[in-house]
Amino acid sequence: MHLSFKAKLMTIMGIFSILLTLSVSLVNQHRLKTNLIASYAKESALVEDTVVAAVSAADKAFQLSDKDIEDEMRDHSDKLLQKYSEQPDVAKWDYQALKAGMGDMDIYMIDRSLTIRFSSFPPDVGLNFHDDNGTLSSFSELLTTRLNGNQFTTDGIDQETNTGMLRKYSYIPTPDHKYLIELGLYLNDNPVFQSFNFLEISNTLIEKYSYINDITVFTTTGKSIGKKGEDGKSLLISNQNVPAFNLALKESAVRVIKGVKDGDPVTYRYVPYSIRMDDQPNRFTDQRMIEIVYNDSELASKLQQNNQIFLLQLLATIVIALMISYIITKLVARPMYLASHDLLTGLSNRASFENALDSTIARSKKKQHKAALLHIDLDNFKRVNDTLGHDAGDSFLIEVGKRIRMAVIDSNHVAARLGGDEFVVILNHVEDTQDALDVANHIIDEMKRPIEIKGINVTNDLSTTVSIGIAISPEHAEDSEELYACADKALYHAKRSGKNTYSVYDETLMQEVASN
């Protein structure tokens, strides 16, 4: 039992030391990790500002030179309206001839179903803006508004859906609102765009910062500006990132999501911004979304190094803590054991029993269940000491302690030696009196088995048996002193009844015993 107590104390001390060490180490490791992540976040914010400034500058530089193009588009749109008034059957128009007379501007006739019915650019004929072609629903709604309106409108830089080429578009509805006339002009050869090509600026930034995988500028329709997909068409925002893209647009706030690109973990940051000049009306294409893809490899590598250092430090600290725990256990185990245990039998002592009984009764009151106290006394124990000597008596008491422990299987129950040949058992939770009777019977049966000391069967030859008094809480008493007194009276009745038996406290019966 001594070794078992030491093992328990060592385990408790070890667990406490490990938890304390782990807590301190985790706090330190978390602080280092937080500082490292914060450092990368700060640097990423600086890079983000640089990207936004560079791309925005390129956009605004193009807008400053945009007025001449818009005036030209307006003139051509007015001419097309005039032609429509003369020949409303647009199927008969010669679109290639019209394009040649408009400085190579492509013409698109969009009907009320938002489908391009006729065009000088054949690949786009049949394109429906309600179809799943990457165009967001807000653009479809905008086209409907323009078709039902009466104004000439233009967009900024946009991307052609089927080719991925950069275009500028203008729109004007026919007077009968049957068609929306769209003009499109390629911008790739525009001198201003060549001077402020934000695609080149983005590539420069990607080369400069190793943790940036990609930078893409998207329109509000989800089409990239200046980039093509594998199919040769305009590169679209990935489907899994559309919710973050839309939320960033709606709230005009940066959104961050984790993802995987080319098999590696990455972080997507969506940064919305507007290129509208102070003296210009707000246009659909004046809103932009910058997608910056950060790779986490460099940060992950440093975090992994941090984790390895943390684990080594933690292991070393745990080893030291366990060594200290072992030393402390060696020093305090014996005094602590003696303070709560009977030295001879290893059972709990009187002080430990009294504390346990108080706790049991308080717990039974709180949880409203029953508890039982068994008061055990050895019958004819004096014969053992007188016949075989006190050393044999001690050996007998040790064996009795073992058998009581064997009978009380539940580790939640408490077995104690109060002194001499007096023992007690606290049953922390019983459903009814029968549970206590079962334990009492088990103890009596255990004591009937032979106990041989110095060649003598003590249980048979010296008639050493046990008498047990049983009291139930709260049925018989609601505090520890009363419960003990009830069990003691029941024990007295058991001895008066012929020994080697048990007796359950009964107030009427006890009054009869007292009168005798």
Task: Identify the structural domains of the chain with CATH numbers, from first to last.
Answer: 2-65+192-301 (3.30.450.20), 67-189 (3.30.450), 350-515 (3.30.70.270)
Sequence-ordered strand ranges (E) for 47-152: 106-110, 116-119
Run of H or E residues at 45? helix 2-64
Determine the pLDDT at residue 439.
95
Whether 59 is a known active-site residue: answer no
List all residues 6 or more positions away from 8 whose beta carbon is below 8 Å from its beta carbon: none
Determine the pLDDT at residue 318.
77
Do 147 and 173 contact (CB within 8 A), yes or no? yes
Run of H or E residues at 326? helix 297-340
Whole-prediction pTM: 0.44
The Cα 467–Cα 499 span in angstroms is 5
Determine the pLDDT at residue 6.
62
**Amino acid, res. 55:** V
* Bond preceding residue 272 cis, omega within 30 of 0: no
Do 159 and 219 contact (CB within 8 A), yes or no? yes
Determine the pLDDT at residue 115.
94
List all residues 6 or more positions away from 121 whose beta carbon is below 8 Å from its beta carbon: 106, 108, 184
Averaged pLDDT, groups of 10, the chain, 516 residues long: 58 76 78 81 79 72 73 93 94 94 92 94 88 58 91 78 74 95 81 60 80 86 78 83 91 90 86 69 70 82 79 80 74 71 91 93 91 95 92 93 91 91 94 94 93 89 93 92 94 90 85 62
Determine the pLDDT at residue 63.
67
Sequence-ordered strand ranges (E) for 285-330: 287-295
Query: Cα separations (Å) of 103 from 42, 186, 267, 382?
Result: 48, 11, 44, 126
Do 373 and 484 contact (CB within 8 A), yes or no? yes
Residue 153 burial (CB count, 10 A) = 20
Catalytic residue among 59, 286, 377, 421: 421
Determine the pLDDT at residue 1.
39
The Cα 404–Cα 476 span in angstroms is 24
The Cα 415–Cα 445 span in angstroms is 17
